[in-house]
Structure 1
Amino acid sequence: MEAAPTPAPAPHVLVVPFPAQGHALPLVDFVALLAARGLRLSVVTTPANLQLLSPLLAAHPAASTKGCGPGQFPAFMQAFAALREPILAWVRAQPDPVVAVVADIFCGWAQPLAREIGAAGIVFSPSGSGDEFSVAFPSIPGAPSYQWREMLLMYRNYMAGALEEQVGESVRQNFLWNVEEESWGFVFNSFRALEGRYLDQPLEDLGFRRVWAVGPVAPETDATGTRGAGGQEAVGAADLSAWLDAFPDGSVVYVCFGSQAVLTPAVAAALAEALERSAVPFLWVVGAESSGVALLRHAAVGWFVTHCGWNSTLEAVAAGVPMLAWPMTGDQFVNARLLVDEARVAVRACAGGEAARAVKEGGSSLADLEGLVQEIRKLG
């Protein structure tokens, strides 16, 4: 009789989290997904962070951990990089080779380590691509924090050195002139009921200068788009207003992303499908100028799907229409936070719906996960 073939050992993967909960927890969750698919995992941790692995060890008792001190990292990234040599010695002492090293994006030193041991180096980012960290503003009331991709593109380009030196310095000096001795005060297109907490406490960065909120500065418009100050009627607004007259009060969803935001065909198709499946009457204005937002004042409009540009924000607040916030760039993320978390006149659009679909059977994230596991098995 032939002996049954010995099953091949599971591929051995070394995991190097970064010792901060916002980074370590998502990576540990990812490790659990890999362990559930039969991979052998060794996770580098510190005594202070060992408790983060308790749920993982309870669910997968065969998983192993590698404890490395110290528990505190006064100079986070630099200090943690000192673990490279002990980890390398531990890896070389293992009976079966490590075929892949999955390391947090803040642990870049693990990538040359992977190359040295002949393993595949895999970078794990706890957030989306191009969104590696957040920026906090502790001096602003409420101490808001924004993801890197939510910062102004000009600022991101400047910090990344993507602007020519002369251009970058010109941009920097332009803003410094606003907050240095050259300026006397600040006037904002806003009003105190919306942003009183920020207006009453001028920031140190502004030199504690006087600030005035004088908005909304745009003249009022009626539902046909006619400006109260005698402006011209917006093209087509009267016809659209007449179309809205046929619907009950508050029954129509108004969709407009301003004149500059352009949805990709796939996103536009998904939004169109969602609107159709909702069975709610909607009006979707594409490439509209700001005057087209006057339709928000029509009694039939009950919700506004918006990119949270400031002009649209003020129009909606003035019209008393609640918003579905879909920020896309620039100050829109700051505006969305103000509307959703503080003024509470908006809710985030698409919060979790697409994400839930991605990790289910047939979803894109589940397919990527299975594909990754198969590639790791090939390495073994």
Structure 2
Amino acid sequence: MTQSTKNTHLLVYPFSGSGHIIPLLDLTHLLLDRGLTITIVVITANLSLIEPLVSSYPTSLHKLLFPEPEISPAPHPLIGKVISSQKLFQPIVKWFETHPSPPVAIVSDFFLGWTNELANHLGIRRIVFSPSGALGSSIFHALWRDVGEINARNDNGDENFVVSFTEIPNVPELKWWQLSLSHFYKKGDPDMESFRDGMMANMKSWGIIYNTFEEMEGVYIDHIQKQVGHDRVWAIGPLLPDEHGPLVSTGRGGSSAVSPDDLFRWLDRKSDDSVVYICFGSRFTLSEKQMSSLASALELSKVNFILCVKASDSSFIPSGFIDRVGDRGFIVKGWAPQLAILRNRAVGSFVTHCGWNSTLEGVAAGVMMMTWSMGADQYANAKLLVDQLGVGLRVCEGGPESVPDPGKLAQLLDESSSVDRPERVKVKELSQAATKAVKDGTSRRDLDMFTRLLSEL
């Protein structure tokens, strides 16, 4: 702790959902280590995710606890959730006005754009925390800025209509069906306009923090700085716990659905880089047809694999599958200690939905990425991994009706275990760059700069 940071009080406000909360908690941990006092806005449903950190920093991390606001009716559940969060505006103002030493700034998730107005009302700074990468966030901003015009250009609703984002480096192109939430936009609809206003407010905030690093997304960080017109854009990732820390193998994000001892004993019996880890994150699931195709591909292949599925989806695993694959396969029905699995020497490739947390965890672990994007920013993340960085292969993309051919998928799974694949070489290099960025490189520099500017507020 330094004299300059010990009196700096920060309000941290994550958006509900483990994919948003976990990386912001990782950032909170780093800021606590630098001596800041932090109050974190938390709803009762997310208490279990927050408690391990609170117990580690009982005097400097405080909870501002609220019951979960009733979800507002809206064109899409996510938008309803965002709109509902605005009900906390006045309760937070009341808390702030009665606090003996209120925060100098608020760090809030990019879905909480309305907190920019909250910060202005309180006379403090607002910093956006983006749980998406800089490419995904660049596309998201451009999409919502121009959503009316984009929708008008595709007035017949052609699912394969191509949208080119010409101002963004490398001119990413996405098809209409890949553009998250924009299909629900109707000009003048109060909920949609409120959501859009929040997205636009992000670019007017005092600063933006990205969970990424320059070697991976430097060109997009530069682009965001040009868009906002200042250099208070910090790339401080990958935000991951220390390799030897207790949270890696135990409670990061939840309790493991299987005994970690059994899992790692199974991995110990496998040779280096021989295991394919398959997981589709905390929100996305496979349809019965997709699960059937994946299971057939795994049976046809020769690879060792860990298949992680939600407990509710385990009924889609074909009858007799586990017996037929024998010791080649390990099934997790529920939450898995993903970071510890990816960092294990036996794991060489990762079939992933390309959520940003999973993307960073896979890259940081140096495993080859096999992309199966399903929604949100995942199509952009797959483009980055496969087309630009060359660290992955596409195995499938799209919603429940996109079903890969089992024979072709089996071949890709087998090929992924080859040590000669160029993607393996490139991802190992990118992994080393990620480690350097955090230890003594650009991410460490940006985090130090951010902390210093906070202490001067």
TM-score normalized with structure 2 length: 0.45
* Counterpart amino acid of residue 155 in structure 1: S
Contact 2:278 2:352 in 1 (8 A): yes
CA spacing shift, 1:292–1:326, aligned 2, 3 Å: same
Contact 1:293 1:315 in 2 (8 A): yes
- Aligned twin of 1:298: 344
Structure number with the bigger relative contact order (C-alpha 8 A, sep ≥ 6) is 2
CA spacing shift, 1:331–1:107, aligned 2, 3 Å: closer
Partners of 2:390 and 2:368 in 1: how far apart? Answer: 9
The alignment status of 1:196 with 2:224, answered yes or no, reads no
Partners of 2:363 and 2:379 in 1: how far apart? Answer: 17
List aligned pairs for 1:268-347, cutoff 5 A.
Answer: 268-287=291-310, 288-289=334-335, 291-347=337-393
Q: Which deviates more, 349-358 or 132-141?
A: 349-358
Per the TM alignment, residue 336 of structure 1 is displaced from its structure 2 partner at its CA by 0.6
Aligned pair partner of 2:190 in 166, 191, 202: 166
CA spacing shift, 1:220–1:267, aligned 2, 3 Å: same
The alignment status of 1:248 with 2:271, answered yes or no, reads yes
Contact 1:254 1:284 in 2 (8 A): yes
Per the TM alignment, residue 156 of structure 1 is displaced from its structure 2 partner at its CA by 2.5
Q: Deviations over 1:329-365 (max 9, x none)?
A: 000111111111111111111499957999xxxxxxx
Per the TM alignment, residue 209 of structure 1 is displaced from its structure 2 partner at its CA by 5.0
* Counterpart amino acid of residue 132 in structure 1: N
More helix per residue: 1 or 2? 2
The number of equivalent residue pairs is 226
Per the TM alignment, residue 203 of structure 1 is displaced from its structure 2 partner at its CA by 5.6
Contact 2:371 2:382 in 1 (8 A): yes
* Counterpart amino acid of residue 221 in structure 2: L
Partners of 1:211 and 1:107 in 2: how far apart? Answer: 36
* Counterpart amino acid of residue 355 in structure 2: G
Per the TM alignment, residue 210 of structure 1 is displaced from its structure 2 partner at its CA by 2.9
Unaligned runs of 5+ in 2: 1-153, 311-333, 409-457
List aligned pairs for 1:353-372, cutoff 5 A.
Answer: 354=404
List aligned pairs for 1:129-168, cutoff 5 A.
Answer: 131-152=159-180, 154-158=181-185, 161=186, 165-168=189-192
What secondary structure, in the 3-state scheme, does the structure 2 residue paired with 1:141 have? coil
What RMSD in Å do the two structures reach over aligned CA positions? Answer: 3.3
Partners of 2:336 and 2:202 in 1: how far apart? Answer: 27
Per the TM alignment, residue 130 of structure 1 is displaced from its structure 2 partner at its CA by 6.0
Unaligned runs of 5+ in 1: 1-105, 109-128, 359-380
Over the matched positions of the two proteins, sequence identity in percent amounts to 41
Contact 1:250 1:302 in 2 (8 A): yes
Query: For the pair shown, which has the larger CA radius of gyration, 1 or 2?
Result: 1
Partners of 2:227 and 2:183 in 1: how far apart? Answer: 19
Q: Deviations over 1:200-232 (max 9, x none)?
A: 33365434553110111231345xx94269967
Contact 1:252 1:300 in 2 (8 A): yes
- Aligned twin of 2:84: none
Q: Deviations over 1:243-282 (max 9, x none)?
A: 1110111111110011111111111010010011012111
